[in-house]
Amino acid sequence: MAYWLLKTEPDNYSYSDLATEGSTVWDGVNNPLALKHLRTMVIGDLALIYHTGRERQVVGVAEIVSQPYADPALNDAKRAVVDVRAVNNVKQPVTLAQIKQDSFFIDFDLLRLPRLSVVPVSESYWQRLMQLADSKI
């Protein structure tokens, strides 16, 4: 199992939207490196849902429930999507400021490549984020 961080603008699509719907197609990924990461996802991987914009915080956990496939809304085989389902909100959102202040995350791609919308999360980073979020998965 791999771990990921998926960014979303909460004014467009929030974790509460995902929780209400139960599952969704995770689309809109344009960056070639982010698409490469998305294409390596497998069923059962877990993802942190990170709100961008004014919030800038980890707010929930989702599970990857499909293999990557071509975005059916586009006529471009290179644009992949996956289906995700809501698992649960984190008890305590983890802000970008908290992550930046924690020297443990010095090499975290969320900080190194801040514009990337799909970010791999190592198991050690995942465990630390879950600790900060006061959550268990």
- The pLDDT of residue 136 is 80
Report the alpha-carbon distance of residue 69 to residue 35 in Å, rounded.
11
CA distances from 108 to 2, 6, 17, 49, 82 (A): 15, 14, 27, 16, 23
pTM comes to: 0.96
70: β partners: 80
- The pLDDT of residue 86 is 98
Q: Which two tokens stand for residue 78?
A: 């290179």
Please give the CATH topology (third level) of the domain spanning 3-132. ph1033 like fold (3.10.590)
Report the alpha-carbon distance of residue 124 to residue 104 in Å, rounded.
9
- The pLDDT of residue 76 is 87
- The pLDDT of residue 135 is 87
Averaged pLDDT, groups of 10, the chain, 137 residues long: 97 97 97 97 98 97 97 90 97 98 96 96 98 89
- The pLDDT of residue 60 is 98
